[in-house]
Amino acid sequence: MAVLRVTLALAAGPGFPEGSAEHRYEIDLVLDGAGRPDAAAWEADPEPWRARRIAPDVEPVQGDVQYEPDHGWSIRFFGAAAEGPDAPETRFDCGPESVRPGEYVAVVEPDGAVFSYRVVAVG
């Protein structure tokens, strides 16, 4: 089981119609044989899968990857208003395609804003 760092760059969303390479997520994932996030590997791994949100002029925000079979993948950020299982989560959906450079991921912030991110690196 190899944990890979997936880097996402903002492709488009509210306030960023042209995207922004400076707004990124770095998400540690294990991908299955089809190149999709592997829920069984996440469940079996005793170590948390790390995540970071990077934006200009602010310190990166640290978090970890969460998976819920009924709701899919999300990131829980540390230092959020409510820590623990009730912390606001940022959801991400890789869609039906493999997670590879050039593909897109939908990111839904806790306030409901939806952004499109492009996979720029895997490895």
pLDDT tens column, 88-101: 689 999 988 899 99
For residue 101, what are the domain limits?
4-122
pLDDT for 24 equals 97
Cβ-contact 49, 23 below 8 angstroms: no
Report the alpha-carbon distance of residue 34 to residue 44 in Å, rounded.
19
Q: Total domain count for the chain? A: 1
Given pLDDT bands bounded at 50, 70 and 90, which one contains residue 8? very high
pLDDT for 121 equals 97
Cβ-contact 121, 5 below 8 angstroms: yes
Whether the full predicted model's pTM is greater than 0.85, yes or no, is yes
Report the alpha-carbon distance of residue 43 to residue 21 in Å, rounded.
31
Whole-number average pLDDT of the chain: 91
